[in-house]
Structure formats: C-alpha cells, structure tokens
C-alpha cells in the first residue's frame, strides 16, 4: 500500500503539472498566440499527434510537462505570416493573464480537492456519539450509555459537536434535556452537569468521552471551509517561502551531519511522495482517513507550487510576469515624457541571472533529494 501511495502521488503531481500547463495553453490560444507544442514529460518523444497548429504528445521522462508558446523573446523566429502572434508582441495585460493562469489553476485545483475532502470524504471531528461514560459521573447517574448519539440538547439539534458542547459547559449546573438515539430509537434523558476540575480549569461536564471520526459537510459549508483552508494554505506558503533561507542550514545539518530532521522544515518531492505513501499505507487509519490525508497533501502541494511559481525570479512564471510589469512601467514613463513606447524587454538578455537562479534551485533540489533519501521526514502513522 505504501508503494501504491507513492505512485498515486507521482500521478497526482504529474496531473497537477499538466493542469498548470493547460492554464498557459488555453489562455495563450484565447489571445491568439502561437502554441506549437503541448507535451507530457521531457526528453525523447514517444508519441505525438498534430491537432491544428499544436503538437500534443508524450516524452520519455515523466517529470512534468510543458506548453511551448512561440515568440517569448524578440529574437525567436516565427512562422512566416504569424509574426504578430508572438508572445512578446501581446499587451502586458494578456501576458500577465497567460503567465499567471498556471498558478491560478493550481489554486483552483487545490480548492476543488479540499471541497471533495469536506463534502465527499469528510474531515476528522469529534462526533456526538458516546465512546466512554466516566464512572460515578452525571452521565452515568442519568443512564447515558456507550454508543448513544446525542441528537439534541434542550431541544436544539446537535450539528457540530465542538460548538454544541458549549451548551453543557455553559449550563451553570442546570438540568439539561438530552435527545439521544439508542439502537435506532429516540429517547429523552435529563442530566445535570457537575463542576469538575479539568487540567486545572473548572468547567461543567457530564462525564462523557465522545468518539472521533470522519464527518462530511454540506455543500455551502464545504465551499466556505474550502475557501478558508485555501486562504490559510496560501498564507502559510508565503510564510514558508519567506523563511526558506533560514531553514537551509538545518537542512544541510540533517543531510551532511545526520542531525534530526525538522518535520516542519524543507521537504522535497521525494519526501512528500514518501509521506503520501506512509499515509496511504498506514494501518492506523481507515481507508477513508487515508484518502482524506492524501487529498489534503495534494491540495496543499498544489497551492504551494502555485505560490512558488509566482516568485518574481526567472525562469519561473513570476519572473516573466515581473518582466511584463517592468515593460508596462517603462511604457508609462515614456508616455509621461512624450516618447514612443520602448521595445519589449528581451528576456534573453537576462539569461545570466536566469542561469544563476536555475543553478541555485538545482542545488537546493539536489540537497532536498539527498535529505529525503538518507534522512526522511516521517509522520509515524
């Protein structure tokens, strides 16, 4: 099962990359740009088919994919008669939409996966089902039994236990009327909470311990929760990227000196795949809990990748977006001075900077790869 989980993650990652590239493809075509290739994988061509002006296909190394938009710089040769369809000739607004579409679809995919999690699979919550009755408690005196499901408190329907339980805690010791579901039958019991010291805090309790399990949410609640979690993931991704430089020394220590790996530190693709495999293969989780954990991992990864691609550094999409914004700023300043619009920035001029960034990212990727292999992060599931 663990191997299956790792393979499932690889497939999910590959599909996520292609969704990213599809964002570039569909918006570039929408604005009349020339898209010559759309391939899954890299390296040697295994299979392809021509559809209109675009060649779709599969290459030998399944490490992602790409969408080739012609005319990314003024020096790129365009087919005769198609010069105006070059990417660099498009307006800055269209460039930004095409470049940002990949990350946007990562966010959309992450949101949809979270929606499936909330509405279709469910999230781990404390359920209104009694798993234990504390001896000599108010619950035992009232006749509450293990397996009873609390369906109402003082006539108010129980929908979300972590909220509804406040009715017990705020009872001030007054008698409560509990609607219970026992062996398929609805019964009513009265019970009076007792003031009890819980870890140094006094609160009114009945003396019941509820079970936990997966619970699905309604469509509207799922949509709202998915938005909140997506927003939270975006915020945490930004914070993680901001703290990335300070986490590299710890990663180096874990890789080279064998120091303990920080579970909240940097993790590469291999590490995430291993964690996914561990989650899917865990005997401590039910099949649905495994699926829920897997969906959460893939959703969070998509949102992180979406944010990462927006970093204003070449060769990332965010770097090309920064160039497009710089083009527009130069044009604005030229208008203020009564001068004609300057020629678009040739990104090939920035190749040395691009290569430096590429080498840095490649070194970090290699370091993460080694760390994930020799000193992996585990969930202990």
Catalytic residues: 21
Picking from 251, 278, 277, the residue whose alpha carbon sits closest to that of residue 265 is 251
Q: Which helix (H) or strand (E) holds 213?
A: strand 208-215
Alpha-carbon gap, residue 334 to 318, rounded angstroms: 24
User: Is the four-CA dihedral 82, 86, 90, 96 of positive or negative sign?
Assistant: positive
Tokens of 124: 């781990």
Question: How buried is 305 (Cβ within 10 angstroms: 0-12 exposed, 13-18 middle, 19+ buried)?
Answer: buried
Backbone angles phi, psi at 157, to 5 degrees: -60, 135
Residues 6+ apart with CB under 8 A from 12: 298
Alpha-carbon gap, residue 154 to 334, rounded angstroms: 72
The DSSP letter of residue 69 is E
Q: Which helix (H) or strand (E) holds 203?
A: strand 201-205
The answer to whether 73 and 347 have CB atoms below 8 angstroms apart is yes
Alpha-carbon gap, residue 12 to 116, rounded angstroms: 15
Q: Which residues pair with 124 in a beta bridge?
A: 214
Within the chain, where are the H helices?
2-30, 92-116, 138-142, 161-164, 166-169, 219-242, 244-256, 269-280, 287-309, 317-336, 351-374
Alpha-carbon gap, residue 218 to 118, rounded angstroms: 8
Picking from 347, 229, 236, 206, the residue whose alpha carbon sits closest to that of residue 292 is 229
């Amino acid at each position: 099962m663990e191997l299956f989980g790792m393979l499932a993650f690889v497939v999910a990652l590959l599909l996520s990359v292609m969704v990213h590239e599809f964002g570039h493809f569909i918006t570039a075509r929408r604005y009349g740009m020339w898209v010559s290739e759309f391939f899954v994988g890299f390296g040697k061509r295994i299979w392809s088919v021509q559809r209109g002006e675009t060649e779709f296909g599969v290459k030998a190394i399944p490490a992602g994919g790409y969408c080739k938009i012609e005319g990314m710089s003024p020096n790129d040769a365009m087919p005769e008669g198609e010069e105006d369809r070059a990417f660099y000739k498009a307006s800055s607004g269209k460039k930004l939409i095409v470049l940002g579409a990949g990350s946007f679809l990562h966010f959309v995919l992450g949101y949809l996966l979270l929606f499936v999690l909330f509405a279709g699979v469910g999230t781990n919550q404390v359920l209104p089902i009694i798993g234990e009755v504390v001896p000599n408690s108010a619950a035992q005196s009232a006749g509450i039994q293990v397996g009873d499901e609390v369906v109402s408190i003082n006539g108010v329907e129980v929908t979300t236990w972590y909220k509804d339980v406040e009715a017990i805690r705020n009872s001030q010791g007054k008698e409560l009327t509990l609607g219970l579901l026992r062996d398929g039958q609805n019964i009513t019991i009265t019970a009076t909470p007792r003031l009890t010291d819980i870890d140094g805090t006094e609160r009114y309790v009945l003396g019941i311990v509820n079970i936990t399990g997966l619970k699905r949410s309604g469509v509207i609640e799922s949509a709202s929760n998915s938005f909140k979690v997506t927003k939270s993931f975006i915020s945490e991704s930004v914070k993680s990227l901001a703290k990335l430089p300070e986490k590299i020394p710890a990663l180096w220590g874990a890789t080279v000196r064998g120091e303990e790996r920080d579970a909240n530190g940097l993790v590469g693709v291999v590490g995430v795949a291993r964690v996914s495999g561990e989650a899917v293969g865990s005997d401590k989780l039910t099949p649905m809990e495994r699926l829920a954990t897997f969906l959460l991992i893939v959703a969070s990864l998509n949102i992180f990748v979406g944010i990462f691609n927006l970093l204003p550094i070449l060769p990332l999409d965010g770097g090309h977006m920064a160039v497009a914004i710089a083009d527009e700023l130069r044009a604005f300043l030229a208008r203020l001075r009564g001068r004609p619009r300057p020629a678009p920035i040739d990104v090939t001029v920035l190749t040395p900077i691009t290569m430096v960034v590429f080498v840095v990212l490649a070194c970090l990727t290699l370091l993460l790869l080694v760390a994930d292999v020799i000193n992996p992060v585990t969930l202990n599931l």
